[in-house]
Amino acid sequence: MNNGFIRVAAAIPELRVADCAYNVARMADLVRKGEEEKVQIICFPELSVTGYTCADLFQQQQLLRDAQKALNELQLLTFSTTSVIIVGMPVRVQSHLFNTAVVLQGGHILGVVPKTHLPNNNEFYEKRWFSSGVLADSQTITLSGEQVPFGTDILFSDGKFTFGIEICEDLWVPIPPSSQQALHGAEIIFNLSATNELIGKHQYLRQLIEQQSARCNAGYVYASAGAGESTTDVVYAGNGLIAENGKIIAASERFSFDPQLIVTDIDIERLQAERIKNTNYANDKSAVPYRTIQLEDAHFIHFDLKRTFDRHPFVPPVTNRDESCHEIFSIQIGGLAKRWQHTQSETVVVGISGGLDSTLALLVCVKTADKLGLDRKQIIGITMPGFGTTDRTYTNAINLMKSLGITMIEISIKDACLQHFKDINHDPKVHDVVYENTQARERTQILMDVANKQRGLVIGTGDLSEMALGWSTYNGDHMSMYAVNSGVPKTLVRYLVDWAAHQLDASSEEILRDILDTPVSPELLPADENGDIAQKTEDIVGPYELHDFFLYYMVRFGFSPSKILFLAKNAFADSYTDEVIEKWLKTFIRRFFSQQFKRSCIPDGPKVGSINLSPRGDWRMPSDAWAFEV
């Protein structure tokens, strides 16, 4: 494996029905091409040695002898290759003929898996020619002069990953064989198929493959018969589809007359991480044992990935943006609405800085008030200018509150902070952590006390990314009475605010656009000589898009720093150098571990996506754990 990835291929060869010698020669061509591309396992379609549409020719002795001879030839042609090869062919065992998958490596047959479920409908009547694999009464057969494992109870493994095989119709039944194969350890399922084309069938097939790979937390490689098959009554399009845990990651060109090799990489470590969290893999496993056939290592350790990775894994695709953003807002609104009603609060109080996070929190408050039929004046927005507040953010905060029609209060924190510096004997010219945190805590005190006075709830504005980095002042902006953004990472905050801008009037949209263009900053240090923000968060802790990427793969899948670094280099190759990515990954790991104590006592807040850092269920970690090495 290469950083946990296995390279697989679905092969759609050129084919002539019943011309076995021709077929294996073309298959060998694709095997050699796969070797050049460092493919570790290559899967061919159902009955690819003979062709699927041979019909009654399957009962001809000559075709069966030709198939056996062609298999021997394929063994010779691929003797010097290291890839695992899975081909489909009819195999006679005593009085039964089976539709099988034959697994080869280095010219040797490793095992033979017969088809379990045979279609019996107007288009296909396989029971006319084949027997189900459940009728096999022997665990070994003689094939090409070798005693080889045979049966539906076989898995294949090299000790690092395991795969299983099912054939075409096996996928379409209520409980596919791959379900139990996955429960018994198979991380990848290979399906040798011959699926004909009908109106609407292709979309259903894609959904079926995606769903099965999701249910099994598995990779799924589907290789289906192509244009070389007979078109007497139906047509085949050559569907090569590869899915990983619910998503198609590679696909062939349908209705192509050219041979195709669809190659991609499946992340075994990601699948294993999903399964570690899913204890049903132990509970639902059948008592029927599976045999595991040992593979030889394909030796392809280093290769450039065929896949690319989304640099913003928390951000939904643009294709369903409206639906996704509406859903996220609905979750935030639903959480706040319940808390607002349950506490019988008359108001909600939120600090408005003119930055992204407080903007999103305010939008959630406004939408919640509207949903509950409450007056927006019951939302109290407080802007609290301090030593680092710039005209730009101050103006945006004021204008945003006015445009949304909430109650607006302005309270300067400068005098209170200067008095506090005097009380604790701190020189206000020293712009250290005391200088910064005094301002953050003063703002929180104001919010809390106004909420008490107005029978309100203080709404937290901090986001998931800040929680991960500990980028908050303990008992300052770290604290609130309900934290509506606690499940939303910074990249998603920006995405939501950008979407919300389109939903508002022109004046409000203009304000949100300027907020989106403003550098992220706590504004706790004085502005520069031009009156601009001097304290830019991403200059200090690093780009949030990198930190969100690190956070996703560390918490969602438990990946090691080396694996995360490998993925980040792939995703951000055109934006950051390897040295820069590694630098900020080290920062992320150090801060994530050292700042757990803040996460151990965070307020309630709604979970939005697959990751949250609440200590009450989603993330439990000792505050004094030693940080991982990068």
| CATH classification of the domain holding 550 | 3.40.50.620
User: Do both 262 and 335 map to the same domain?
Assistant: no
User: Do both 482 and 366 map to the same domain?
Assistant: yes
Task: Evaluate if residue 315 carries a pLDDT over 60.
Answer: yes
User: Do both 383 and 417 map to the same domain?
Assistant: yes
Identify whether 168 is a catalytic site residue.
Answer: yes
Task: Evaluate if residue 481 carries a pLDDT over 80.
Answer: yes
Sorting pLDDT into bands at 50, 70 and 90, what band is 124? Answer: low
For residues 462-478, give the mean pLDDT: 97
Nearest by Cα to 216 from 193, 252, 241, 190: 190
- Which tens digit of pLDDT belongs to each residue from 61-106? 999 999 999 999 999 999 999 999 999 999 999 889 999 999 999 9
Task: Evaluate if residue 477 carries a pLDDT over 70.
Answer: yes
User: Do both 186 and 101 map to the same domain?
Assistant: yes
Do the Cβ atoms of 413 and 443 come closer than 8 Å? yes
CA 121, 127, 133, 135 dihedral sign is: positive
Catalytic residue among 115, 490, 563, 598: 115
Beta strands 379-383 and 407-410 are parallel
Sorting pLDDT into bands at 50, 70 and 90, what band is 504? Answer: confident
User: Do both 569 and 521 map to the same domain?
Assistant: yes
**Domain assignment present for 35:** yes
Catalytic residue among 43, 54, 168, 417: 168
Helix ranges (H only) for 433-559 are 433-453, 464-469, 490-501, 506-517, 537-540, 544-557
**Domain assignment present for 492:** yes
Q: Among 294, 327, 344, identify where a domain stops.
A: 294
Task: Evaluate if residue 170 carries a pLDDT over 90.
Answer: yes
Task: Evaluate if residue 300 carries a pLDDT over 60.
Answer: no
The torsion angles phi and psi of 616, rounded to 5 degrees, stand at -95, 20
What is the DSSP annotation of 5-63?
EEEEEEEE----TT-HHHHHHHHHHHHHHHHHTT-SEEEPPTTTTT-GGGGGGGG-HHH
- Which tens digit of pLDDT belongs to each residue from 216-273? 999 999 999 998 999 998 999 999 999 999 999 999 999 999 999 999 999 999 999 9
Task: Evaluate if residue 628 carries a pLDDT over 90.
Answer: yes
User: Do both 479 and 539 map to the same domain?
Assistant: yes
- Which tens digit of pLDDT belongs to each residue from 175-210? 999 999 999 999 999 999 999 999 999 999 999 999
User: Do both 268 and 323 map to the same domain?
Assistant: no
User: Do both 259 and 336 map to the same domain?
Assistant: no
> What CATH number should be reported for the domain holding residue 92?
3.60.110.10
Neighbouring residues of 244: CB distance < 8 A, sequence distance ≥ 6: 213, 219, 220, 266, 267, 270, 271
**Domain assignment present for 471:** yes
Q: Show the CA angle centred on residue 202, arms to residues 198 and 206, nearest 5°.
A: 155
Give the residue numbers spanning the domain of 272. 5-294
**% of the chain exceeding 90 in pLDDT:** 87
User: Do both 43 and 131 map to the same domain?
Assistant: yes
User: Do both 258 and 340 map to the same domain?
Assistant: no
Task: Evaluate if residue 617 carries a pLDDT over 90.
Answer: no
Q: What is the pLDDT of residue 221?
A: 98
User: Do both 506 and 561 map to the same domain?
Assistant: yes
- CA-to-CA dists, residue 427 to 376, 438, 506, 523, 544, angstroms: 42, 12, 45, 19, 33
**Domain assignment present for 625:** no
Catalytic residue among 35, 46, 126, 166: 46
Q: Into how many domains does the chain fold?
A: 2
- Which tens digit of pLDDT belongs to each residue from 266-294? 999 999 999 998 877 767 777 778 999 99
Task: Evaluate if residue 298 carries a pLDDT over 80.
Answer: no
What average pLDDT does the structure give for the chain? 94
Q: Which long-range contacts (CB under 8 A, 24 or more apart) does 524-532 make?
A: 524/386, 524/387, 524/388, 524/435, 524/436, 524/439, 524/440, 525/387, 525/388, 525/431, 525/435, 525/436, 526/387, 526/388, 526/431, 527/388, 527/390, 531/390, 531/391, 532/390, 532/392
Identify whether 244 is a catalytic site residue.
Answer: no
**Domain assignment present for 630:** no
User: Do both 395 and 497 map to the same domain?
Assistant: yes
Identify whether 69 is a catalytic site residue.
Answer: no
